[in-house]
Amino acid sequence: MASVPERFVGRWAGSSDSCGSDADDLTLRLTRNHITHWESDGPIKAVVVRGDTELALISELSGEGETWLSVVHFTLSEDGNRLIDTTTRPGKELVRHRCTGTGGAQARSSSRPALLRDAA
């Protein structure tokens, strides 16, 4: 089974200031085989990588009693600190910032998942 390359793995937020906050609805958590959004999460079913910066995922998300397939495309900035989502809001780039250091965020080099909110 394909998995998310390490350079994309981590916790991402709408701004670096909101990395420790549970109120950021842009929070995204990527592990090698799981994706967690603010109010949905699920296993990654397919991974497509192009070059060092492009990633496309198909995942089976669940949230609020529903389950659905999701397709998303990301571009990683050259410095690896911004993840640009071009599919969630068609016609607009949704930029997330890598969370590192304190506040429950995970450093880029670690592959151990961090729990979001009250997830078990």
Q: Give pLDDT, residue 1.
A: 64
pTM of the complete model beyond 0.85: no
Phi and psi, residue 7, nearest 5°: -65, -20
Fold of 6-98: Lipocalin (2.40.128)
CB 42 within 8 A of CB 72: no
| Rounded average pLDDT per 10-residue block, the chain, 120 residues | 91 90 87 94 97 96 95 96 91 92 38 39
DSSP 17-84: GGTT-S--TT-EEE-SSEEE-SS-EEEEEEEEEETTTEEEEEEEEEETTEEEEEEEEEEE-TTS-EEE
d(CA 54, CA 48): 8
Domain boundaries, the chain: 6-98
d(CA 76, CA 66): 29
